[in-house]
Chain A
Amino acid sequence: MAGSVLEIKNLHVSIEDKEILKGVDLTIKGGEFHAIMGPNGTGKSTLASAIMGHPKYEVTEGSITLNGEDVLEMEVDERARAGLFLAMQYPSEISGVTTSDFLRSAINARRGEGNEIPLMKFIKELDKDLDYLEIDKSMATRYLNEGFSGGEKKRNEILQLMQLKPDIAILDEIDSGLDIDALKVVSKGINKMRSEEFGCLIITHYQRLLNYITPDFVHVMMQGRIVKSGGPELAKRLEAEGYEWLKEELGIKDETVEQNA
């Protein structure tokens, strides 16, 4: 089977009755890597949260489907089991629950009752991914994200990505707070996921990450909309020249969602 298709159409999202997304259209297919760039406060995390089903974000218009199935009708856990994954900008700390217990529960939730992963197999695969991401083995027995440094949290999100093997992943600012070595390792993990079965949406406001992960499509978000799309060269130009030329071209003064054009 070829990969999954995540289709977002005319998506409007509000938080506390304030409209943040004002009509987003985007289609991500298995095998494709998309990047969404844009300055802070333009609605990037809102898009990611709405796709995953964050309880605070309300979709007021438009649709999200995964392989034709209505994602908006699904609970958060159903979305995950349908194949979606979100590496969060700010992962929660779960006290008292070890990373490895949590991961095993999550893997088993996807595999379903009666089809649980054998313990030895789980340990072997976890060890392999820990090594690949150059994470100290002790992380498996530490409480999930509790007391983790910013960099450790990001690596842990990628560890989860590699372990859970979703069909479509959204990575929200996976590069923020990472030094160059950590950035390389995290990119290595993401690149390893590349296949015809795997689609990815990378959210970032730096071009830096895209030196290590080459996207097939680059989109720029401003004022809660995708205002420009292109190939990898668009990211390069933004890196070299910033966002000003684009704002000028589009006649945008304030790129955040606070203002309309």
Chain B
Amino acid sequence: MTVETKLPYDKQYIESFSSDRKEPEWMKELRLHALEKADQLEMPKPDKTNITRWNFTKFRHDYIPGEKIASMNELPELLQEYFDQDNIPENLLIQRNQSVAYSTLSEELKEKGVIFTDIFTALEQHGDLVKKYFMTDAVSVDQNRLTALHAALVNSGAFIYVPKNVEIEVPLQIVFWHEDPSAALFNHVIVVADENSKLTVVENYLSSASEEETVANIVEEVFAHDNAKISFGAVDHLSSKTTTYLNRRGVAYENATIDWALGQMNDGNTVSENITHLIGNGSSSNANAVTVGRGKQIQNFTANIVQHGKGSDGFILQRGVMLEGATTIFNAIGKIEHGAIKANSEQESRLLMLSPNARGDANPILLIEENDVTAGHAASVGRVDPIQMYYLMSRGLPKDDAERLVIHGFLAPVVTQLPIESVKKQLTQVIERKVY
């Protein structure tokens, strides 16, 4: 197969797509500029994975609105396990294909000025705010061909803004349901926590089963202003026919915190980057991530914390399990910039291989340009300890059950970090299903 180099959508298409959505002029221009860039820029080159033969540019971009969900009591079957019927979230956005199928936000949060909406409504109603954050200080349009393509073709997404001094204890939950693969998913998420605010957000990506090849090109930009705290959880579970490029980017200012808990459970080939810039002094980030690879799936994950602020604290923890013929690369990058005195950068990446055909690599990188700092790293690629298996089986557990316990245990340090109980349970189920 030769990879298409010509882009599938032209200037005219983008212009009318933007007009149809009544987007502000700046957005249309940004899209058109990005389209031009997409023609010139190089593809991303993830460390240790060759993606030159992956399909990122052949897809359809039809606009397919999803059916509304009238009530949480009448959830489509696929979504049922994502919620606990006795405990429906107060603040919830369900996106189905390219439109909102369901959304609620508590009166209390509305009154406090919290914005929690889809990206198009945000562009319409809070254009200036979106403009300030849309591919400016986090992910840039011209980072590579795929980010440019993303900007040109964004067709769904969400926008969250928490005003100054507002602390939200209950989580905001978003479900991105890629129901119909004939439209590629160009999803854009912006989360902004203004000064002294606090927020927990959890998102789910899922696809309906389909044999059709499709593409997900996702950019998420998360901003924690001075003294803000964001706890960000995710469970990605896109189908085996979806080729995914995913950028999750955080920017933390003075004394701000962004904690990530990511369940990276896609079934298809995936390149996923999670980069956090600790700009402010005293800022911090815990980047926790798990993955399970299965089949012939190839996945490349980069967790990168870039520390500019004095006394900033970055901790990367990645755990992955590989089954069958899966390939998984964990790149962990701790970077301390010049001047970031007393910064601390720690990282741990561990892969567990359950099959002789699985392949994987944990690639620890420390880039330190300041003397007065502390840093540490640990990385390993290993197999299940036969003595552990013997111990568990000696209590009557069949081999499969014993293995399953070891796997859950291995992933537990990250899974237990997920901020919503129902999502934690759901991630556990996804792991369970992927393991057997």
Which residues of A (194-245) have their CB < 8 Å from a CB of B?
none
A142 in contact (CB, < 8 A): no
**Which residue in A92, A97, A164 is a CB contact (below 8 Å) of B387?**
A92
Q: Which residues of A contact B356 (CB under 8 A)?
A: none
- A109 and B412 contacting across the interface, CB-CB below 8 Å: no
- Given known pairs A55-B390, A94-B388, the reply for A75 and B399 (CB within 8 Å) is yes
- Given known pairs A76-B393, A77-B396, A164-B396, the reply for A105 and B405 (CB within 8 Å) is yes
A77, A81, A105, A143 — most chain B CB neighbours (10 Å): A77
Tell me the bound Cα distance from A105 to B404 in angstroms.
Answer: 11
Q: Which residues of A contact B69 (CB under 8 A)?
A: none
The binding surface of chain B is classed by DSSP as helix
- B411 and A77 contacting across the interface, CB-CB below 8 Å: no
Tell me the bound Cα distance from A246 to B405 in angstroms.
Answer: 47
- A76 and B408 contacting across the interface, CB-CB below 8 Å: no
**Which residue in B388, B395, B413 is a CB contact (below 8 Å) of A160?**
B395
Which residue of chain B has its CB nearest to the CB of A101?
A: B405
B394 in contact (CB, < 8 A): yes
Tell me the bound Cα distance from A116 to B396 in angstroms.
Answer: 14
Tell me the bound Cα distance from A91 to B395 in angstroms.
Answer: 12
Tell me the bound Cα distance from A143 to B412 in angstroms.
Answer: 10
A88 in contact (CB, < 8 A): yes
- A164 and B395 contacting across the interface, CB-CB below 8 Å: yes
- Given known pairs A54-B390, A92-B387, A105-B405, the reply for A81 and B410 (CB within 8 Å) is no
Interface residues on A, range: 20 to 34
- Given known pairs A75-B399, A105-B401, the reply for A96 and B394 (CB within 8 Å) is no
B381 in contact (CB, < 8 A): no
Q: Which residues of A contact B387 (CB under 8 A)?
A: 55, 92
B388, B395, B397, B412 — most chain A CB neighbours (10 Å): B395
- A95 and B396 contacting across the interface, CB-CB below 8 Å: no
- B411 and A92 contacting across the interface, CB-CB below 8 Å: no
B368 in contact (CB, < 8 A): no
B420 in contact (CB, < 8 A): no
A52 in contact (CB, < 8 A): yes
Which residue of chain B has its CB nearest to the CB of A103?
A: B395
Q: Mark A63-83, 1 if CB is under 8 A from B, else 0.
A: 000000000000111011100
Q: Mark B375-402, 1 if CB is under 8 A from A, else 0.
A: 0000000000111101111111111011
- Given known pairs A77-B393, A92-B387, the reply for A109 and B398 (CB within 8 Å) is yes
Which residue of chain A has its CB nearest to the CB of B400?
A: A77
Q: How far is the CB of B317 from chain A (nearest CB, A)?
A: 13
Tell me the bound Cα distance from A91 to B398 in angstroms.
Answer: 18
Tell me the bound Cα distance from A96 to B406 in angstroms.
Answer: 8
Q: How far is the CB of A121 from chain B (nearest CB, A)?
A: 18
- Given known pairs A105-B401, A109-B396, the reply for A95 and B412 (CB within 8 Å) is yes
Q: Which residues of B contact A80 (CB under 8 A)?
A: 393-397
Q: How far is the CB of A78 from chain B (nearest CB, A)?
A: 9
Q: Which residues of A contact B401 (CB under 8 A)?
A: 105, 109
A21 in contact (CB, < 8 A): no
Binding site for A on B (CB under 8 A): 385-388, 390-399, 401-402, 405-406, 408-413
Binding site for B on A (CB under 8 A): 52-55, 75-77, 79-81, 85-86, 88, 91-92, 94-97, 101-102, 105-106, 109-110, 143, 160, 164
> 15 other contacts beyond A88-B391, A97-B408, A106-B395, with CB at 8 A cut-off?
A53-B390, A76-B390, A77-B398, A77-B402, A79-B394, A80-B395, A80-B397, A91-B391, A92-B392, A94-B406, A94-B409, A96-B411, A97-B406, A106-B396, A110-B396
In the complex, 28 of the A-B residue pairs with CB atoms within 8 angstroms, ordered by the A residue number, are: A75-B399, A76-B394, A77-B393, A79-B394, A80-B393, A80-B396, A85-B395, A86-B394, A88-B394, A91-B391, A92-B388, A94-B391, A95-B409, A95-B412, A96-B408, A96-B409, A96-B412, A97-B405, A101-B405, A102-B392, A105-B405, A106-B395, A106-B396, A109-B398, A109-B401, A110-B396, A143-B409, A160-B395
Task: Give the 8 A-B CB pairs with smallest separation, nearest first.
Answer: A96-B409, A96-B412, A80-B396, A92-B391, A97-B409, A106-B395, A76-B393, A77-B393
